[in-house]
A and B are shown apart, each in its own frame.
Chain A
Amino acid sequence: MPNSFSVSGSRQEGISVLALDGFLDAHTAPAFEEAIEKEVSAGHNRIVVDCARLAYISSAGLGVFMTFIEEVREAGGDIKICAVIPKVGQVFEILGFNSLFEIVGDIPQAVARFAHSRAEGG
């Protein structure tokens, strides 16, 4: 049986919050990719990915982040990651994602980081 995965989106203070749930692997990465694609093509370039319920992430799942990060940043936005469980965080670290992405504790912090960068004029 394939691992289950779902992504649900919401908008908070003009920021898109995508909550991931389950196993993000090669099977399920396309669903996540489509979810981000949808946000980006709607002009929503400020994205928070909530990993609180993300149990596993594979390289293909990380690839989705890489696929959009440049496009989003060029448009003046960012993808911020929050609420990562240690097992997932370890993968982020091994593959060097910690230095490429801002990873914070929870959604409010992530949203606040956007407010912060906007205040700075970023």
Chain B
Amino acid sequence: MASGFDVSRLESLLESAKLLQSTLDRSQILKHLLRSVMGRVLARRGLLAIRNSQGTFEIELARGLPSLAARSPYNEASARAAGVEHVFPIATSGEPAGYLGIGGLAAALAPEESDFIQALLGMASSVVSNAEAHLLLDQRLQELRALLDLGRGLAATLDPDEVARLVGLTLAGRWAVSKYAVIAARDPHPPVDRRKGLDLKPFEEIKARLQSLDGGVRDPALLGAVNAPEGALLLPIRSKEELIGVIACGPRPRGMAYREADIEFGSGLAAQASVALENAWHFRDTLARQQLEKELELAAGIQRDLFPKKLPPLAGLDIAARNRQARQVGGDYFDVLPFSSLDSTAPHLLCVADVSGKGISAALLMSTIQATLRSLLRRESSLLEIAGLGNELIHACTPPNKYATAFLCGVDPATGACRYVNCGHNAAVLLRSGGRVEMLDGPGLALGLFPRRTCAEQSFQLNDGDILAIYTDGVSEAQNRNDEEFEVDRLAACLREFHSEPAASIVGRVFDAIDSFAGDAPQFDDITLMIVKRSNAGTTAVLGS
């Protein structure tokens, strides 16, 4: 074959070989090839098609062939129809790296020119393939850069919507797609939904469908099910095992498919998105928690102000009370309020109440009860009326599952005469001076449960040496590590043991007893205790918790 070469052809081959060795710039090589051949055989039309990464052939260069656009798919028939007369494979053997076509030659193609062209293309084929490999390398490098760039961008944001935006932009740029969507959701956060031109179904609707999938999804049936167009790619965003979102990329331009390498890249990007979304959500959670804690602190402060700072001193009575909350805000309440006269010898209302539930809702109801009591006391002196109206008010202004148990006791300091209503509350303990215990229970359901009042008024006489203990279930039901409860018996024993001490001191003794009983078991419920003694001195105290 070489025998047919003249010197000028050999020179041309040598020149090409030098150029091919000196550059890895693919487009330069291709242009040179086409130029050399067209120049050599004086062709007016020329065409170069190269195998792309999908394994199909694409027109790279077209000269004098206006109907054949660069980057469009190549096939020999349409090339010939457009005016290409000779087609040469760019190959030494086996699968060609591309094709070179020429047409519009000044003269018929001599066999030796044909040999020359084949020799040139054979020599160039490995370089073209290398250049192609080089292009792939460039693309991988670009992918790495994109991941790095995105990683930096994501590290700088704690906004889930911003994460979706960066992920969307990066993929749109990487794959030259103009339609995409990034959707994700995690309770209790608002859903992340960034979409451009894709009318994907809401995440909650498609979550179950995508749950078990891994990697990238190109299955047309599945794409249809989530309302993504054919040719699109879905990339699940997973956090541990859970599907937290999905990235959808519309079809690539010029009918390009998503390759395995693309899916690998996309999956890496989805993994980054997952971490960034989780971080952003976690940050939001922390912020919200801090905000809630701030509000709770505020509520606790308001509630502390609702408790009497000082109980009114009543002649001949020694009264002390203490409340310790299980949480920042609780649902227990105690108070000592005058029925009408502020005089220390005038009848007063002793009240201990326990609101259902804990936390802010309980505290709100507690403040309602306090306001109710205070407003009613001005007008009503009958315990039954107070309990009845209180019941109606609470029933009317709270949901049915909110209620309060209360022990209301009217005491006349002058005589020690007491009457009480027990609205579903723990029976108060009355320790007589002789050591006998009377339980002050009574008919009556919690306030707010039913529209009609259910309690009845009862009375007793508080004598010298008697101790009245009104408390909430936080006292009797305080638990130790063995789930045993403190119970009324331990309270009564405590009262007996320290009966000679002042009320304030007895309150302290009972709290100490509860604490040593509970040990390191956590306090579940608010603990409230009011101790009333009859004494000639008459002191009252509120003890700090």
Taking beta carbons and an 8 Å cutoff, which residues of A are in contact with B?
2, 25-27, 29-30, 33, 58-67, 69-71, 90-91, 94-97, 99-100
Contacts and interface: CB of A to CB of B under 8 A. Distances in A.
Nearest to A70: B178
Given A70-B179, A95-B142, A99-B254, A59 B173 contact: yes
Interface string B126-163: 00000000010011001001100110111010000010
B396 to A, nearest CB: 52
B63 interface: no
Contact of A27 (B135, B156, B168, B177): B156
B71 interface: yes
B197 interface: yes
A59 B178 contact: no
B178 A60 contact: no
Given A26-B152, A99-B70, A100-B253, A62 B166 contact: no
Interface in B170-227: 170-179, 196-197
Contacts of B152: 25-27
A58 B170 CA distance: 8
B173 A60 contact: yes
29 contacts: A2-B156, A26-B170, A27-B156, A29-B153, A33-B169, A58-B145, A58-B149, A58-B170, A59-B142, A59-B145, A59-B173, A59-B174, A60-B146, A60-B166, A60-B170, A62-B173, A62-B174, A63-B171, A65-B173, A70-B178, A70-B179, A94-B135, A95-B173, A95-B174, A95-B176, A96-B176, A96-B256, A99-B71, A99-B254
Contact of B142 (A27, A64, A94): A94
A57 to B, nearest CB: 8
A14 B146 CA distance: 35
A91 B149 CA distance: 14
A64 B169 contact: yes
Interface of B: 70-71, 135, 138-139, 142, 145-146, 149-150, 152-154, 156, 162, 165-166, 168-179, 196-197, 253-254, 256
B170 A59 contact: yes
Contacts of A60: 146, 149-150, 153, 166, 169-170, 173
B139 A94 contact: yes
A75 to B, nearest CB: 14
B172 A67 contact: yes
A72 to B, nearest CB: 10
Nearest to B72: A99
Contacts of A96: 71, 176, 253-254, 256
A66 B153 contact: no
B174 A26 contact: no
Given A25-B149, A61-B173, 20 more contacts: A29-B153, A29-B169, A30-B162, A30-B166, A58-B170, A59-B150, A60-B150, A63-B168, A63-B169, A64-B173, A66-B178, A71-B197, A90-B138, A95-B173, A95-B176, A96-B71, A96-B253, A96-B256, A100-B176, A100-B253
Nearest to B151: A26
A69 B176 CA distance: 10
B197 A70 contact: yes
A119 B139 CA distance: 38
Contacts of A61: 169, 173
A69 B162 CA distance: 21
A66 B150 contact: no
Contacts of A27: 152-153, 156
Contacts of B173: 58-66, 95
Contact of A63 (B70, B71, B170, B253): B170
B139 A59 contact: no
A2 B170 CA distance: 18
A33 B153 CA distance: 15
A2 B256 CA distance: 35
Contacts of B172: 62-63, 66-67
Contacts of A95: 139, 142, 173-176
Contact of A26 (B169, B177, B253): B169
Contacts of B197: 70-71
Contacts of B153: 25-27, 29, 60
Contacts of A70: 178-179, 197
Contacts of A59: 142, 145-146, 149-150, 169-171, 173-174
A33 B145 CA distance: 20
B142 to A, nearest CB: 5
Contacts of B256: 96
Nearest to B145: A58
A51 B107 CA distance: 47
Most buried by A among B145, B149, B177: B149
Most buried by B among A30, A33, A60, A71: A60
A27 B156 CA distance: 8
Nearest to A26: B153
